[in-house]
């Protein structure tokens, strides 16, 4: 039992910045951060994303420069998303060795080497002409098992382009196992998988779909992404399945609205837990700051600390380079 007031005074340890820093229970490090970046085929200048101030669709040159800056700042990783010039129902560009994402992977790995972990999003929504995450049936549903074949091929193409980790985000049943088997068979048994284990059908993704040009042309993704009102046990079931299939690290997406899920994952698993501070979280803070309603830097740091305190080992954030420099 601890002493009671007036003997016990918790404020004693909050009296000055040095004391607060010494006893801080949550610490951010630059290496905890992963920077999402968008590579767009066929552009000659970086294209600003209107709904995400400060974020751009990169050219090959600007992508290399941004990757170098992230590595120099001490950021732990980069995750790349590709936007092809031509899309079709199969997402053919996704596993094309000369497709935009594979070119981006080779460029970035050549620029930064092993100084930062270079990974790729392994999905189809940026590559299909319908904006969905997989192959569609004649009735317009996503065919889970046909989609797994595409994911397996994409993961191998990414590995052969130099990706140091793959991150399947489509929320198809069995995706981790299919990708693990394909990577192993292709001689990439040492390549780790970061599984999007709890990815919710969230309203917080809106600005991302501008950046990645992947809004569904009809319907939504509620048949495969998790219901925001779904039970916590459903998320835990998903993460257990991914681990059984060979996931090396797991992710919760979005982050701030799902801190309880992050905490539950941290208590459940013995692998790294990542959380994605998504585009809507980023855009809200940037918009409020632009209007003078909030202290931008304090809110960025507070939001990241909250995600870290909930149990995330890794945080995907569009502020990764900026925050890494500040740390």
Binding residues for Mg(2+): 238
Dihedral sign, Cα of residue 62, residue 66, residue 68, residue 72: positive
User: Residue 76 carries which DSSP code?
Assistant: -
Is 65 among the residues known to form the active site? no
* Binding-site residue set: 209, 221, 238, 279, 318
DSSP 8-class letter at 135: P
- Is 199 marked active-site? yes
Residue 10 DSSP symbol: G
> Any idea what DSSP says for residue 193?
B
Q: Where are the beta strands (DSSP E) in the chain?
A: 33-40, 47-48, 56-58, 77-83, 117-122, 165-168, 194-199, 249-253, 273-276, 314-316
Residue 267 and residue 94: Cα distance in Å, rounded? Answer: 35
Residues constituting the chain: 327
Which of 40, 87, 199, 308 is an active site residue? Answer: 199
Binding site for 5-aminolevulinate: what residues are annotated? Answer: 209, 221, 279, 318
Retrieve residue 107's tokens.
């460029």
What is the residue whose two structure tokens read 């590559």? 127
Q: What is the 3-state secondary structure (H, E, C) of 234-261?
A: HHHHHHHHHHHHCCCEEEEECCHHHHHH
DSSP letter, residue 59: P
CB atoms within 10 A of CB 62: 17
Which of the following is catalytic: 40, 65, 87, 253? Answer: 253
**Catalytic residue IDs:** 199, 253
């Amino acid at each position: 039992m601890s002493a009671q007031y007036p003997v016990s005074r918790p404020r004693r340890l909050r009296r000055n910045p040095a004391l607060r820093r010494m006893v801080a229970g949550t610490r951010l490090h630059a290496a905890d951060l992963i920077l999402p970046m968008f590579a767009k085929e066929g552009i000659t200048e970086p294209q600003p994303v209107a709904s995400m101030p400060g974020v751009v669709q990169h050219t090959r040159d600007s992508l290399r420069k941004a990757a170098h800056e992230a590595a120099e700042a001490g950021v732990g990783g980069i995750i790349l998303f590709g936007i092809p010039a031509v899309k079709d129902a199969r997402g053919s560009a996704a596993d094309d060795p000369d497709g935009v994402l594979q070119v981006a992977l080779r460029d970035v790995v050549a620029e930064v080497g092993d100084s930062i972990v270079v990974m790729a999003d392994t999905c189809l929504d940026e590559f299909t002409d319908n904006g969905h995450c997989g192959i569609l049936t004649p009735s317009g549903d996503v065919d889970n098992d046909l989609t797994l074949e595409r994911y397996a091929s994409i993961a191998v193409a990414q590995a052969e382009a130099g990706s140091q980790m793959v991150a399947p985000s489509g929320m198809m049943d069995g995706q981790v196992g299919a990708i693990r088997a394909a990577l192993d068979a292709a001689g990439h048994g040492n390549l780790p998988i970061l599984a999007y284990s709890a990815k919710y059908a969230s309203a917080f993704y809106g600005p991302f779909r501008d950046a990645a040009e992947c809004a569904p042309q009809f319907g939504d993704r509620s048949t495969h992404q998790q219901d925001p009102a779904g039970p916590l046990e459903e998320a835990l079931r998903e993460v257990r399945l991914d681990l059984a299939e060979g996931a090396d690290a797991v992710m919760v997406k979005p982050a701030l609205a799902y801190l309880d899920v992050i905490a539950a994952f941290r208590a459940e698993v013995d692998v790294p837990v990542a959380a994605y501070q998504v585009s809507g979280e980023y855009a809200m803070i940037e918009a409020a700051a632009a209007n003078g309603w909030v202290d931008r830097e304090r809110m960025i740091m507070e939001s990241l600390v909250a995600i870290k305190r909930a149990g995330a080992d890794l945080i995907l954030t569009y502020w990764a380079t900026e925050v890494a420099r500040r740390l």
